[in-house]
Structure 1
């Protein structure tokens, strides 16, 4: 079956999805497999991007959703949505490296924004991106996000976030108004 022609389906993750989601996120950001796509962080961070406990916490939290995206019965992408008052936070966005560059990311982020707006009535979407990821920030800017210049420190020494390969990592807040 031609995967490119198959429709995407969206649903909230369950505990049964945790291992598949961890494998997807790791493949999109870390290690050699991530180099098949353009979102790799392999040159700036090593170690894990997430773990089963962290994913399960998102799945089970009442103010969070882990949106899974399926094609042909398999999870090909995911993103975290978190309700934070007047805005929602968007994170843990991963698309299978072998499917990156096909327009899935654009469709998924638009659906995530729609769902956050409809479910929670939020007026903005917030996210943080590692500030040295200029290509990724530019991609989000093309989707209507703007750089705020607001930085938060990278949690050096906390290996839950990976093992930094540089000493200049920070997170920048990006914001998009949701109409």
Structure 2
């Protein structure tokens, strides 16, 4: 796994996740997307998906996978955000992005994604960042577009029937590929 020294942005510190972070990361990711706690933020998926967003095994796989990093952001020693980065050659994949619901809307997400893009460029020489977003998440898609990501129209099916990704509350879910040039 690639490791980088902690980066500081004011009170914000970045580091790679470790095995002892798994429980806190699962709680963070779940709170940002699912269940009642997620409704206090704007990134909630609670209206379209029930059940889990991730689990300890899924987080451990990201932490331990070759060419993968789970970047953690801390403020004053408290976990406030995270994102997955995966080396895919000239492109890097960005996923598992979560910001504490009570901190959403204050600019923290912009800082996290900028750090992820910097890390992908500097650590892997990535010239593009790729991500997938549930295609019915118009507000989230618009947020990424304001950050320079472009919708490609390339869709992949949602894994209906695989409860590791949640229990869909609608039958029209798919993932859309978004791409941003990093060069």
Q: TM-score w.r.t. structure 1 length?
A: 0.96
Q: 1:46: Cα distance to partner?
A: 0.3
Q: 1:142: Cα distance to partner?
A: 0.2
Instruction: Give the 3-state SS of the residue equivalent to 1:28 in structure 2.
Output: helix
Q: 1:7: Cα distance to partner?
A: 1.2
After TM superposition, the structure 1 = structure 2 runs for residues 82-97 of structure 1, keeping only pairs within 5 Å, are 82-97=86-101
After TM superposition, the structure 1 = structure 2 runs for residues 1-179 of structure 1, keeping only pairs within 5 Å, are 7-179=11-183
RMSD of Structure 2 on Structure 1 (CA):
1.0
Note the alpha carbon deviations across 1:71-103, whole angstroms, 9 max, x for none.
Answer: 111110000000011100000000000000110
Q: 1:62: Cα distance to partner?
A: 1.7
Q: Distance in 1 between matches of 2:97 and 2:41?
A: 13
Instruction: Give the 3-state SS of the residue equivalent to 1:114 in structure 2.
Output: helix
Query: Is there any run of 5+ residues in structure 2 with no aligned partner, and where?
Result: 1-9
Query: Is there any run of 5+ residues in structure 1 with no aligned partner, and where?
Result: 1-5
Match of 1:3 in 2: none
Q: Which 4+ residue blocks in structure 1 deviate beyond 2 angstroms? A: none
Instruction: Give the 3-state SS of the residue equivalent to 2:160 in structure 1.
Output: coil
Instruction: Give the 3-state SS of the residue equivalent to 1:36 in structure 2.
Output: coil
Q: Distance in 1 between matches of 2:18 and 2:61?
A: 11
Q: Distance in 1 between matches of 2:101 and 2:75?
A: 14
